[in-house]
Amino acid sequence: MKEKKDILAYPPEELAQEPVLKGYPKYRGQQIYQWLHQKGAISFYEMTNLPRAIQEELTKEYEIPSLALAKRQQSTRDGTNKFLFQLSDNHFIESVWLPYEHGNSVCISSQVGCAFGCRFCASGITGLTRNLTVGEMLGQVYRIQGIIGQRVSHVVVMGMGEPLDNYSTFVSFVRQISHPQGLQISQRNITVSTCGLAPQIRKLAKEHLQITLALSLHATTNEKRRTLMPITNTYPLEDVLEACEEYFTVTGRRVTYEYSLVAGVNDGEEELRELTELLRGKSCHVNLIPINPINERKFAPSNPETALKFKKNLEKCGINVTIRREMGTDIDGACGQLRLRPGVKRGYFERSRKSFLGS
């Protein structure tokens, strides 16, 4: 059986050149693109302004990636929603809706599982299964937006997986989600988190995107960092920080350094002094994150007083810093808590048919 192509992966200019549209006016490609990326169509037969012949040819040649809603959890504390989606090959991913005063954010996954095994993160406990496609990454945003019935304004690629390990797909995702003919999410409202793949960070700088790069730092020396993040054995801290500085120099976009505060591990006086010296003089933002619990690890978060001490000391040195407001912890939807959920039964494939524009 012929494998169908992921139609969400095509930018409008390429879609218009596809053989199936040969002989038709160019605006047909634009109509299809808008149905997919603005109105959230999940079937070609929803595209009511297309001739039936085009609908049938599209159905034969292409697929709109299927994300079936298996489970939805809603936080009783802060309005966070976590979604478990089942993919067409029966693998599962998790995504999160985060309502903020400044707009609605969606945290999406880039892989099924993760290969990098950060000690504080649930996503990598069972390893990497596969990369997601462009359509599966876009589909998380479109699917959640349709379910909630509100427009997404910010996207963080911080869910399951290492985005820069799925590099070309991630870059295509950014270009598609921000395309003027699509959802038009500003690239400045897109953040990607990486464990520190130095070559890919340097490569990303040359894409000249306007997204925010967030480095999972979490320790101040190679010795300490490798106990939390094995990737340090491949890319030492000096190399990663140099790549981040290169990203800032090329793009002009300030880098965010994420620092999870783990009681008795990286929150002492020595670590505070080292973190201050490490980032002094850099144009950056520090995001202090009290570690979130996962069953397989016994890490405990630092107390609020310690977090505040870190914040004040960094601010005294002119470093911009915030303590992250953790959302969704009661539904395991916070930073580091997303994971594979095997054995979950397939849910009903329900979604809103509303246009995403102005919703």
Question: Are residues 166 and 204 located together in one domain of the fold?
Answer: yes
pLDDT of residue 122: 74
Residue 85 has pLDDT above 90, yes or no: yes
pLDDT of residue 327: 52
Residue 357 has pLDDT above 50, yes or no: no
Residue 2 has pLDDT above 80, yes or no: no
Per the domain annotation, does 108 fall within a domain? yes
**Last residue in a domain, options 46, 63, 80:** 63
Residue 293 has pLDDT above 80, yes or no: no
Active-site position among 271, 317, 335, 350: 335
Is the pTM higher than 0.75? The answer reads yes
Question: Are residues 278 and 137 located together in one domain of the fold?
Answer: yes
Q: How many CB atoms are closer than 10 A to CB 129? A: 17
Per the domain annotation, does 264 fall within a domain? yes
Question: Are residues 298 and 210 located together in one domain of the fold?
Answer: yes
Question: Are residues 86 and 214 located together in one domain of the fold?
Answer: yes
Question: Are residues 165 and 136 located together in one domain of the fold?
Answer: yes
Question: Are residues 50 and 74 located together in one domain of the fold?
Answer: no
Cβ atoms 22, 61 nearer than 8 A:
no
Question: Are residues 197 and 99 located together in one domain of the fold?
Answer: yes
Mean predicted confidence (pLDDT) in 275-290 = 92
pLDDT of residue 121: 81
Cβ atoms 341, 304 nearer than 8 A:
no
Look at the chain and report how many structural domains it folds into.
Answer: 2
Active-site position among 3, 13, 94, 245: 94
Question: pLDDT tens digits, residue range 133-165?
Answer: 999 999 999 999 999 999 999 999 999 999 999
Per the domain annotation, does 357 fall within a domain? no
Active site residue 121: no
Per the domain annotation, does 338 fall within a domain? no
Rounded Cα distance, 2 and 110, in Å: 26
Question: pLDDT tens digits, residue range 98-124?
Answer: 998 888 999 999 999 999 988 878 777
First to last CA, the chain: 39
Per the domain annotation, does 154 fall within a domain? yes
Question: pLDDT tens digits, residue range 299-347?
Answer: 788 888 999 999 999 999 899 999 977 654 554 544 444 444 444 433 3
pLDDT of residue 76: 84
Cβ atoms 137, 160 nearer than 8 A:
no
Rounded Cα distance, 96 and 101, in Å: 16
Question: Are residues 193 and 326 located together in one domain of the fold?
Answer: yes
Question: Are residues 110 and 247 located together in one domain of the fold?
Answer: yes
Range of the domain at 31: 5-63
DSSP states along 121-136: -STTTT-EEEEPPHHH
Residue 353 has pLDDT above 80, yes or no: no
DSSP states along 3-70: PPEEGGG--HHHHTTSGGGTTS-THHHHHHHHHHHTS--SSGGG-TTS-HHHHHHHHHHEE----EEE
Per the domain annotation, does 337 fall within a domain? no
Helix ranges (DSSP H) in 114-196 = 134-148, 167-177
Active site residue 94: yes
In single-letter form, the type of residue at position 36 comes to: L
Question: Are residues 145 and 263 located together in one domain of the fold?
Answer: yes
Question: Are residues 74 and 181 located together in one domain of the fold?
Answer: yes
pLDDT of residue 291: 80
CATH classification of the domain holding 272: 3.20.20.70
Per the domain annotation, does 103 fall within a domain? yes
Give the pLDDT band of residue 355 (cuts 50, 70, 90): very low
Q: 């405990």: which residue's tokens? A: 300
**Last residue in a domain, options 63, 95, 111:** 63
Mean predicted confidence (pLDDT) in 72-92 = 91
Q: What dihedral do alpha carbons 280, 286, 288, 294 form, nearest 10°?
A: -120
Give the pLDDT band of residue 245 (cuts 50, 70, 90): very high
CATH classification of the domain holding 57: 1.10.150.530
Longest CA–CA span in the chain (Å) reads: 70
Rounded Cα distance, 24 and 113, in Å: 42
What are the backbone angles phi and psi of residue 264, rounded to the nearest 5°?
A: 75, 5
Per the domain annotation, does 179 fall within a domain? yes
pLDDT of residue 295: 53
Which are the contacts of 212, defined by CB distance < 8 A and separation ≥ 6?
Answer: 188, 190, 191, 192, 253, 254, 255, 256
Question: Are residues 291 and 217 located together in one domain of the fold?
Answer: yes
